[in-house]
Amino acid sequence: MKRNQGFTLIELIIVIVILGILAVTAAPRFLNLTGDARGSTLEAVRASIQSAAAIVNGKALIQGQQNANPGQVTDPAGNIATVFGFPAATAANIQLVLDLDAADWVFTDSASAAPTPAGVVAISPNGIAYNATPANACQVLYTQPANSGDRPTFTVQPEGCR
């Protein structure tokens, strides 16, 4: 008696169909490309403001404004208000420092939005509701230094915003 080994064509087709169904239903859960893009964009803005603050601090050192509160640094883009040698946390000042398009980004500070504390600027994407509530909106927070010798802080909020 001859013994056949292997799968029939019907069995192979059924397995392929089952794998296709699993791939269609499970892949979007594992591949959150939109969330990754949002998080990466906000991390890029955080790094940009961190670099810009370091450049402003270097200019403040050169111009003797490193301990001034308030101070001012002269730049070809305009006069930049400083606090202890770093950019002052006002929406207009941070927008000047970053040179991001106002059509794409919203800059809020304590003067323009009540929940934003003094000394903090929130930078968030314009027209994109990352989260439903403003309190949980994806944003980059820039907090100016409180004392001479302190450094500003740069935070993506909420952490791992995706």
**Cβ-count burial of 65 within 10 angstroms (0-12 exposed, 13-18 middle, 19+ buried)?**
buried
C-alpha to C-alpha distances, 96 to 27, 35, 76, 132, nearest whole angstrom: 42, 28, 11, 29
Stretch (H or E) spanning 58: helix 33-62
Residue of 116, 162, 113 whose CA lies nearest to 141:
116
With 0.85 as the threshold, say if the pTM is over it.
Answer: no
Secondary structure class of 157 (helix, strand, coil): strand
Partners of residue 1 on adjacent β-strands: none
Helices and strands, number each (H, E), in the chain: 3, 7
Which residue matches tokens 């890029």?
44
Q: Are 82 and 56 in contact (CB under 8 A)?
A: yes
Q: Are 143 and 152 in contact (CB under 8 A)?
A: yes
Q: Tens-digit pLDDT profile for the chain (162 aa)? A: 667 777 888 999 999 999 999 888 887 777 767 777 777 888 888 999 999 999 999 999 898 888 888 888 888 878 888 889 899 888 888 888 888 887 888 888 777 665 667 778 888 777 554 443 455 567 888 888 888 888 998 888 766 565
Residue of 130, 126, 125, 123 whose CA lies nearest to 161:
130
